[in-house]
Amino acid sequence: LNDELKLSVIMIVHDLTLAAEYCDYLIMMKNGRIHRKGSPENVLTYENIEHVYDTVVVVKINPVSGKPVVFPVSERRLRELNRP
């Protein structure tokens, strides 16, 4: 719709990788307030995601689209990584 009819499209989505692939502009919110806004590359950093969602993630760049891909890190994996 945006490309063909020049209409703005607003969607609410919690799948951050999906949002990165299809959205030109993101608004990340926490507790009803804007935490960050801008391009997917500027908004979807591990620091922002960990702060807003209180979870550990790894963010990589999709080699085909050039957009961020978000990988949550499981609690079990974190325990394995923190083992002496």
| CA of residue 84 relative to chain centroid, distance | 31
* Residue 15 structural domain: 2-81
Number of domains, the chain: 1
Tens digits of residue pLDDT in 13-72: 999 999 999 999 999 999 999 999 999 999 999 999 999 999 999 999 999 999 999 999
Instruction: Please tell me the pTM assigned to this model.
Output: 0.81
- HSE-CB at 58 with a 13 A cutoff on CA atoms is 7
Query: Could you give the residue ranges of the DSSP H alpha helices within the chain?
Result: 2-5, 16-22, 40-43, 46-53, 75-81
